[in-house]
Chains A and B, each alone.
Chain A
């Protein structure tokens, strides 16, 4: 019989007996049970605040759970006088969705009739029926909406969008200030809703990668403001203010697994690096790492498709260069965000984004010490010049090229945003690798403006962590990138380069679970001989019959660049045949070009083989998306 692992930490508010009892249960719990329980507990917590088991019914209604209704009391009808609020979110990595879930919880607690709604499942034409609307949307790439929200976005921007005179709304944008179009989608939604006649309640919030505390405060404040407005407003008489059908969170799991485990974003697990291999053969221009981490005794679980967030440490040379350029001493004592006294060097190393140059940062820098050249760059008309300046430069270049005499340590650290965690798609199934997680990471190194540049996290993993050392990490669930629930469903996977990582996880999962569905992988990279990541494993899967087909495109082996989309076209009839059979289609990897090319190619294939017009083919592909049969994990 299995002994109990110590999952409940000593400082938890349980007696030793209670802790032992919980450990006993948690040790034996399946992943599915854990997922269910985590969702249940997060809802149950709300109900406790509202008193007794009645809250459990509330949990049901508000859709945080997807539980078997027979095990719980039947839903209790709510008084219809409550103000309603819809938290409309557009998510890519799951952060907007987590915030939406939090907002909904808080709204319910305040007495709203709250629902959360994924833009993928929503129509802008329903907006006039809303009373209060909170929009939470992230921005990707060159100011683009999340993949799942793109259709909603384009419809909202089109002529067909309805007027929304009575709607109170507020927008929270998520983004990354190191990109030029920072929080662009938040801005776009905000101005469009106003243009359509919406009544903005409170200022928009543009959050950077270190978004949590800012977002939490904004959600609290916005909900309170909305509540005040609602109380002051004349009650809606139409009676149809809120849609009758509340939509539950899509997918089968109730909530991110980080809720269940004591380790999560706020408390990353110090995971031991077990193994590191450069997958590219000698002579390759690429450096792709296969990393194996231990999850032993962490309680962390994940599903194929999830990502791991790594908290890196900066490169000491870069930090030293910054401190040197600022003319400061590395030992200078500063106070960390947690209030602990630390020296300047270790603070920047561990806590600060010491590389990403952004307009925001240049602005702050310029404010510290006005400089004509920077002022010129910051003018609205100099957008292109600014972009050109930022390209290939890091913070250190700003300090070196525009030194500020007598820059104080506090001024320096004020410039930085918090060092964001980096997400990597998981390359393993936990069922095939108990208590381990594997990642496939491309080491980023390049040379610009007379300096060698290194990707912060990829070179942290490549150079600065030794095997046997610990790396803080947590699981970032991605519920929009999942194997089909039905093991018989065929899948087509397109994953060039490190994009192949989740498909290694998919194949391991389908092998361990004996899933019978057909599997077809499209893979590509530069050179067959040196860059065929996990080649021996694919050969074995193919030999075993698990990997039904595999097609490869190596772009630098021939004078003409051949990419995965070209291979797709060569097999367009078979691909369409698989889709008609019900296959799910997955894409992982580069967002800027590959994913767009693959998307266009997919439409072409449907058009060519299904004898459809381009519009019909686009509808066909959109329908695949809607039915979760076309999923992307692109970056």
Chain B
């Protein structure tokens, strides 16, 4: 195996000497002359839920102005299962205005993200988040991240059970170090106490990030196959949780130009009873801790461990640690990855309203006071608020008698806009990318809405205003918006240049495949328009866009992860 001979990645030594994620974080945060922190702490602070970024729009002017880069921090707030209280929403709303750039972002993994927090305010911000009974620990870094869960508004009882499961997994897999509490919450160091331990992670934590999601069929809104570890809930005839089909080895990220890196759809391990889920999650983490690649971070995710050693080896390894074996997978079926917009009535008689939030960005504009409107709703709302895996928001658990008041606010603040978008826009998703993300090679959140508007015209022209096509864009190949599971995937390669991927399954069960490499932004519209027009005239009844592009020969299907790079018809885009 490659890890036996290759030297460890420098981050491994860094984690090891960090004294359980402390490093010099406390000191470098206090340095008033710079808004930045040194490289070693840049790595460590991720484990605390934050990334160092800078405003790339202004990089060019800064040195001439005798200023360092316009540094700020992203803070990711864990919301296990995506469910928060109205009070927590109000707290985040205030924190965004007070300490961040005035907007909130709902992420593709059901977390809140704040952008533009300067170093001097980092500690106060994290304290405010904790005061709202939310936190940021392990929201990033080589650990288990925010645990996702289908927000399933209509099967209320089942949702309550899987949400609890998500929270249990989340709590169990949290790092045990007190570093977070000492650095951000002024917890006193316990002198002469027991030596600290990370019973699950050890000193070097995991080789790479680790993502868990729980899906409730028929919805695959969480993109369960895109996660390191997935649980597909299986309910009995009465809608009570019975157990889970377990999936492992999914993941999106890859590196441009490295064919040994690829997105991968997860494999099934089998079925487990509901009460075994935390135990299974721990053992899967332990196997990856012990066998994951710690030399090459581009190949350190669980998907490569399983790709190299095989799913059967992996299942045995987990089973030997469990002391029992998986049952055969239970039958289930997924229909889609999207959200169902509008009001639905749950089995408990309460109402739930799903609003489309473009790219998950909560902010006010002159003609669309989304942030204010949601704040006003949170002030009167008695249920909860749920962040979906598609960056949308559910105002959940509204009593029948309170529905009118909510609707009045929806109307007052024009939030109905989030209900009447086209099928294409409602199924669009973009990562943040420029100007803050350090990895971005191209625009994403600032560009996709424009492209969608252009494509909408074509869709309407073809009479497909409400037809759903999943379109996702990212500014780089790391896949935050899960573009490789989109029927139209657009992945940035350079400023104004994108790779175009086609052929993913609408229900998230099949990856797409590269259709055109390095397409200039201005050519995306003609390129995609012609395929959409072809689809509108040549599709079979009920045929999804992704399936059509395979049948019509635009791309070959990707059946397994490594196949992603095979049988690509056109390497270079030619006009």
Contact = CB atoms under 8 A, between A and B. Distances in A.
A550 interface: yes
Contacts of A282: 57-58, 61
Interface in A504-555: 528-530, 532-539, 542, 550-552, 554
A557 interface: yes
A528 B120 contact: yes
Interface string B22-44: 00000000001111000000000
B118 A279 contact: no
A559 B124 CA distance: 11
B72 A550 contact: no
Nearest to A559: B98
Contacts of A554: 120
Contacts of A281: 58, 61-62, 65, 67, 70
Q: Which 7 A-B pairs have the closest CB atoms?
A: A552-B32, A282-B58, A536-B66, A535-B67, A534-B66, A529-B70, A539-B33
Contacts of B121: 557-558
A550 B66 contact: no
A574 to B, nearest CB: 14
Given A528-B120, A557-B120, A277 B70 contact: no
A19 interface: no
Interface centre among B35, B119, B120, B121 (most CB of A within 10 A): B120
A538 B33 contact: yes
B118 A542 contact: no
B64 interface: yes
B63 interface: yes
A283 to B, nearest CB: 8
Contacts of B68: 535-536, 539
Given A542-B33, A559-B98, A536 B63 contact: yes
A278 interface: yes
A290 interface: yes
A279 B67 contact: yes
B180 interface: no
Interface in B57-116: 57-58, 61-68, 70-72, 98
Contacts of A532: 67
A513 to B, nearest CB: 23
Given A282-B61, A536-B67, 11 more contacts: A277-B65, A278-B65, A279-B67, A529-B118, A530-B70, A535-B66, A535-B68, A536-B63, A537-B66, A550-B33, A558-B124
Interface string A268-304: 0000000001111111000000100000000000000
A435 to B, nearest CB: 21
A551 B32 contact: yes
Contacts of B57: 282
Contact of B33 (A283, A530, A533, A535): A535
Contacts of A290: 66
Nearest to B58: A282
Nearest to A536: B66
A291 to B, nearest CB: 13
24 contacts: A279-B65, A281-B58, A281-B61, A281-B62, A281-B65, A281-B70, A282-B61, A283-B58, A290-B66, A528-B119, A529-B55, A532-B67, A533-B66, A534-B66, A535-B33, A535-B67, A536-B66, A539-B33, A539-B68, A551-B32, A552-B33, A557-B118, A557-B121, A558-B121
Given A279-B65, A281-B58, A535-B67, A529 B35 contact: yes
B118 A528 contact: yes
A496 B125 CA distance: 26
Interface of A: 277-283, 290, 528-530, 532-539, 542, 550-552, 554, 557-559
A277 B119 CA distance: 26
A558 B121 CA distance: 8
Contacts of B98: 559
Secondary structure class of chain B's binding surface, majority of residues? loop
Contacts of A550: 32-33
A533 B33 CA distance: 11
Nearest to A527: B118
Contacts of B61: 281-282
Nearest to B118: A528
B34 A539 contact: yes
A31 B502 CA distance: 75
Contacts of A542: 33
A289 B58 CA distance: 18
B71 to A, nearest CB: 7
Interface centre among B57, B64, B67, B119 (most CB of A within 10 A): B67
A281 B69 CA distance: 10
Nearest to A541: B33
A529 B72 contact: yes
Contacts of B64: 277
Nearest to B72: A529
Nearest to A531: B67
Given A529-B72, A557-B121, A277 B33 contact: no
A534 B63 CA distance: 10
Interface centre among A533, A536, A537 (most CB of B within 10 A): A536
A505 to B, nearest CB: 15
A441 to B, nearest CB: 15
Contacts of A280: 65
Contacts of B118: 528-529, 557
B81 to A, nearest CB: 32
A42 B334 CA distance: 98
B429 to A, nearest CB: 28
Contacts of B120: 528, 554, 557-558
A263 B61 CA distance: 36
A279 B119 CA distance: 21
A535 B119 CA distance: 15
A352 B175 CA distance: 72
Contact of A528 (B35, B62, B66, B124): B35
A535 B98 CA distance: 24
A283 B34 CA distance: 19
B71 A529 contact: yes
B69 to A, nearest CB: 10
Contacts of A557: 118, 120-121
A444 B98 CA distance: 28
A392 B9 CA distance: 64
A280 B66 CA distance: 9
Contacts of B124: 558
B127 to A, nearest CB: 13
A533 B68 CA distance: 11
Nearest to B54: A529
A285 to B, nearest CB: 15
B57 to A, nearest CB: 8
Nearest to A275: B64
B98 to A, nearest CB: 6
Nearest to B97: A559
Nearest to B31: A542
Contacts of B62: 281
A17 to B, nearest CB: 48
A507 B479 CA distance: 49
A529 to B, nearest CB: 5
Contacts of B58: 281-283
Contacts of A279: 65-67
Nearest to A567: B32
Interface centre among B68, B98, B119 (most CB of A within 10 A): B68
A542 B32 CA distance: 11
Interface string B175-203: 00000000000000000000000000000
B66 A277 contact: yes
A281 B58 CA distance: 8
Nearest to B61: A282
Contacts of B35: 528-529
B66 to A, nearest CB: 5
A536 B35 CA distance: 11
A529 B34 CA distance: 9
Contacts of B63: 536
B504 to A, nearest CB: 39
A336 to B, nearest CB: 40
A529 B62 CA distance: 10
